[in-house]
A and B are shown apart, each in its own frame.
Chain A
């Protein structure tokens, strides 16, 4: 048990994290691209045409994974925010910051593909449905987090303030969702049921699951890439970043600033 703990904490040091990510990244990228190719192939060529919606249902293969990811990523971001706030582990904040743009991107994709699907199916790009509205509010929560983190010049304060905001957001998220649902049942404007038939052909399900896996892998890969860049920026001037730079022979000596915090944890 204690060995396990040490292993994990080892990778919360920026230097070890960077090296680990360097080795893992190609695998995540490969998994993302291959599963995307397989999933898209099944989705476009194997899965049958829906008897009600025709071919337009196929956008679901992008839309549903994106909607799932948009919510999962917020939760994961909040977990990292909690770790950053309570134990003040720098890498946890790096991860939370790196997750936010991907989460916002998936939220936007979910909204956009939802609109494109809604046009042929419902006859309108947008309805003020409970799910659509709460997804839109989720996008604003992401933007608020990103904006707050970017607005505070002091890095430590930015990290802790944005982390607190993410936690306030995650506490409020269910309340927002249920209040929007409550509001939606009161104003029953467009009587459209978003939930589709429960039964789904197995090839549709296969495509959906493969593409969900692909989205996970993509999210992990892109987040880790961003986290690497963020780590390098934060640790500039540290010994290991300097030796990394000299090893790559891009900028031999200019980076040697007086600040030499070696990026230890906490």
Chain B
């Protein structure tokens, strides 16, 4: 009754929801990592406000890298992934749907929690808003680029450290733009330029990343 891609989307979401401990671990990691910044640097309100954008972004970035290991590993091991790529649907669409489902269950919770963290770091209303907005635009880019890294390293022993090394240099532009948007709001200037560039990065990644990820998966499977 419904489109195969929609079924795939529902399958990925429900699989994740049935293994809630993974999602909880990622959200827990995000919250703990953010909480370490005031402990490690200083609880001074002025300093906290300065480091807030970077702290939230860096924690989100690592949480997303951490979650990536789940993306293809299990489906590769039991052959599901191969069948998905052999299906009549375009491979890049299959990948895009899977990445979208992955973002929905791992990226979106981080976005939703970010206003709470903004409050902890003493951000004002507008700044928190921009932080959340930058995460809404930026975390999908991280997941999309991350898909390439996850596909290349799927099934390798000790892929966690490797995928971090591969991806973090590629994540720099998103980190820079996301934190700069919030910092700009703090200095009473417009975050529009940064957010526009983040949006542009999202559009480019939406077009190119699923295609590259599908190519990487074909390499991994043969």
**Residues of A within 8 Å of B, CB-based: how many?**
27
Q: Closest A residue to B184 by CB, please name it.
A: A186
Contact of A164 among B156, B157, B180, B219 (CB under 8 A): B219
Closest 7 CB pairs of A and B: A179-B173, A183-B176, A144-B166, A160-B219, A140-B169, A179-B176, A137-B169
Q: How far is the CB of B159 from chain A (nearest CB, A)?
A: 8
Chain B residues with a Cβ under 8 A of chain A: 148, 152-153, 156-159, 162, 165-166, 168-170, 172-173, 176-177, 180, 183-184, 201, 208, 212, 215-216, 219-220, 222
Contact B219–A168 (Cβ < 8 Å): no
- Give Cα A16 to B168, complex, Å: 40
A186 partner, pick from B159, B183, B212, beta carbons under 8 A: B183
CA distance A109 to B193 in the complex (A): 36
Question: Bound state CA distance, A173 and B166, in angstroms?
Answer: 13
* B176 A165 Cβ-Cβ under 8 A: no
A180 lies within 8 A of B176 (CB): yes
Main secondary structure of the interface of A (DSSP, over half): helix
Q: Contacting chain B: which of A47-55, A146-154, A236-244?
A: A146-154
In the complex, what residue of chain A is closest to B157 when comparing beta carbons? A151
B residues in contact with A151, CB < 8 Å: 153, 156-159, 162
Q: Is the interface of B mostly helix, strand, loop or mixed?
A: helix
- Complex CA gap A164/B209 in Å reads 12
Given A143-B165, A164-B152, A183-B176, A169 and B170 contact (CB-CB distance below 8 Å): yes
A175: interface (CB < 8 Å): yes
Set of chain B residues within 8 Å of A156, measured between Cβ atoms: 222
B219 touches A186 (CB 8 A): no
Contacting residues, chain A, for B180 (C-beta < 8 A): 182-183, 186
Q: Judging by beta carbons under 8 Å apart, are A168 and B177 in contact?
A: no
Q: A176-B173, A183-B180, A186-B184 are in contact. List 5 more A-B contacts (CB 8 A).
A: A151-B156, A151-B159, A164-B216, A168-B212, A172-B169
Residue pairs across A and B with Cβ atoms less than 8 A apart, 17 shown, are A137-B172, A140-B168, A144-B165, A147-B162, A148-B153, A148-B162, A151-B157, A152-B156, A157-B219, A157-B222, A161-B216, A165-B152, A171-B208, A172-B170, A176-B169, A176-B173, A186-B180
User: CB distance B152 to A161 under 8 Å?
Assistant: yes
Residues of A within 8 A of B (CB): 137, 140-141, 143-144, 147-148, 151-152, 156-157, 160-161, 164-165, 168-169, 171-172, 175-176, 178-180, 182-183, 186
CA gap between A144 and B167 in the complex, in Å: 8
Q: Shortest beta-carbon distance, A168 to chain B, in Å?
A: 6
Q: How far is the CA of A171 from the CA of B215 in the complex (A)?
A: 16
Bound Cα distance A45, B41 (Å): 50
User: Measured between alpha carbons, how far is A161 from B153 in the docked complex, in Å?
Assistant: 9
Please, which residue of chain A has its CB at the minimum distance from the CB of B172?
A176
Which residues on B sit within 8 Å (CB–CB) of A147? 162, 165-166
Kindly list chain B residues whose C-beta atoms are within 8 Å of the C-beta of A180.
172, 176
> A164 and B215 in contact (CB under 8 A), knowing A151-B153, A151-B156, A152-B156?
yes
Alpha-carbon gap, A183 to B57, bound state (A): 15
A152 vs B216: C-alpha distance in the bound complex, in angstroms?
Answer: 13
Rounded to whole Å, the gap between the CB of B204 and the closest CB of chain A is: 9
A154 CB to nearest B CB, Å? 9
For the complex, give the distance between the alpha carbons of A223 and B157 in Å: 29
Whether the Cβ atoms of B162 and A168 lie closer than 8 Å is no
Q: How far is the CA of A161 from the CA of B158 in the complex (A)?
A: 16
**In this complex, what residue of A is CB-closest to B216?**
A164
A-side contacts of B215, CB under 8 Å: 164
Bound complex: CA of A178 vs CA of B177, how far in Å? Answer: 11
Q: What's the minimum C-beta distance from B33 to chain A, rounded to whole angstroms?
A: 21
What is the CB-to-nearest-CB distance from B77 to chain A, in angstroms, rounded to a whole number?
16
B176 near A182 with CB under 8 A, answer yes
Determine how close the nearest CB of chain B comes to the CB of A263; give it in whole angstroms. 21
Nearest opposing residue in chain B for A139, CB measure:
B169
Interchain nearest-CB distance for B125 vs A (Å): 23
- Please indicate the chain A residues that have their CB under 8 angstroms from the CB of B166 in the complex: 144, 147-148, 165
